[in-house]
Amino acid sequence: MKNSFFQNRIAVVTGAGGTLCSAVAVELARQGAKVALLGRTMDKLERVAAAIRSAGGTGLPVSVDVTDAAAVEAARQRIAEQLGPCALLVNGAGGNRNDAVTTTTEFQPAEIAEKIPEGMRGFFNLDPARLLDVITLNTIGTIVPCQVFGRDMARQGRGAIVNFASMNSYRPLTKNLAYSLSKAGVVNLTQWLAVYLAPAGIRVNAVAPGFFANERSRKILMTEDGGLTARGQTVMAHTPMKRFGEATDLLGSVCWLLNDEQAGFVTGITIAVDGGFAASSGV
Ligand SMILES: NC(=O)c1ccc[n+]([C@@H]2O[C@H](COP(=O)([O-])OP(=O)(O)OC[C@H]3O[C@@H](n4cnc5c(N)ncnc54)[C@H](OP(=O)(O)O)[C@@H]3O)[C@@H](O)[C@H]2O)c1
């Protein structure tokens, strides 16, 4: 069903070439929004824009690194010229990197040995520069678009922002130090910004997806023959709905949070979309 609220509104979606936010971008366009698609890899954005256009919608792909304030400001100017000032922002750009996670789930004496075993990366072997890459992407990469596109919204006296948190925001998953602390930061940022921007008429909320298979997590959670890895089995054992999420599972929450007519008094919250993972103690 289409909702007239989105008709001709200008929406900016970061991470729009990715698994979850490509679906968000397509859905917003289907509901009538003019959608700017932000990410670094133009090919991925072009594919999503083509899908939007072939369904009769408006999708403008813009290649930009969301942690680069000057580049995001240049993107804003282009979007303002071609579509108009931003009214809705979805901050989906984010993620993790293999060299910023530990290979062990708990301390192993070998990680402090003179010669660390090949391929081992414990807490004591993590490179702070790689941790900072992940923290910067998930926190500064959310803050910068809020500053740049939030300014458009503040000038209009209204707007809505949806950030992407994670199950790691509440309880850190083993191995994922930088990702967990940065996604905890996204929940905190969402609350802080909701309070700060309320007088500007801008609502700020977040979704916290549970386990959705994307390019990176598929390799961690699934075997090549479509079965589950040991980690995938652990995730499933703690997911009462016994499946991974699909991008379409997020659309209702994201669209509802963006919609002033339906969620006009909702700000500063994070909605878990997780098949019950956060509710489950596993016992
Ligand atoms: N999948 C899950 O299970 C899950 C669970 C909880 C939370 N999340 C969060 O949900 C969001 C979307 O996840 P996803 O599964 O759709 O991941 P994804 O498929 O990897 O998509 C993320 C997108 O962000 C873009 N991106 C990364 N760094 C960027 C940068 N510096 N500037 C601009 N764009 C950048 C990437 O495109 P380029 O590399 O081309 O820039 C990529 O298309 C992320 O914030 C993720 O942390 C995902």
Selected catalytic residue, list 6, 149, 164, 179:
179
Q: What is the pLDDT of residue 226?
A: 86
Distance 24 CA to ligand 1 centre (A): 12
Q: What is the pLDDT of residue 261?
A: 98
Q: In what order do the strands lie in the sheet with 34-39?
A: 58-63, 34-39, 10-14, 88-91, 159-164, 202-209, 270-273
Q: What is the pLDDT of residue 167?
A: 97
Does some domain include residue 228? no
Report the domain count for the chain.
1
Q: Is the CB of 163 under 6 A from ligand 1?
A: no
- Residue having the nearest C-alpha atom to atom 11 of ligand 1: 92
Does some domain include residue 225? no
Does some domain include residue 224? no
Does some domain include residue 223? no
Atom of ligand 1 nearest to the CA of 183: 47
Q: How far apart are CA 197 and CA 189, in angstroms?
A: 12
Does some domain include residue 45? yes
Q: Which candidate, 36, 39, 79, places its Cα nearest to that of 58?
A: 36
Atom of ligand 1 nearest to the CA of 65: 32
- Residue having the nearest C-alpha atom to atom 32 of ligand 1: 65
Atom of ligand 1 nearest to the CA of 20: 16
Residue 179: active-site member? yes
Helix (H, G, I), strand (E, B) or coil at 175: coil
Q: Is the CB of 214 under 6 A from ligand 1?
A: yes
Q: Is the CB of 145 under 6 A from ligand 1?
A: no
Q: Is the CB of 40 under 6 A from ligand 1?
A: yes
Reported residue count of the chain is 283
Q: What is the pLDDT of residue 29?
A: 98
Does some domain include residue 232? no
Q: What is the pLDDT of residue 144?
A: 99
Q: How far apart are CA 190 and CA 203, in angstroms?
A: 9
Instruction: Give every residue of the chain whose pLDDT is below 70, as ranges.
Output: none
Q: What is the pLDDT of residue 163?
A: 99
Distance 195 CA to ligand 1 centre (A): 26
CATH code assigned at 156: 3.40.50.720
Containing structural domain, residue 248 = 4-214+244-273
- The pTM is what? 0.98
Does some domain include residue 248? yes
Q: What is the pLDDT of residue 94?
A: 98
Does some domain include residue 237? no
Q: Is 202 left (phi over 0), alpha (psi -120 to 50) or beta?
A: beta
Helix (H, G, I), strand (E, B) or coil at 74: helix
Q: Is the CB of 63 under 6 A from ligand 1?
A: no
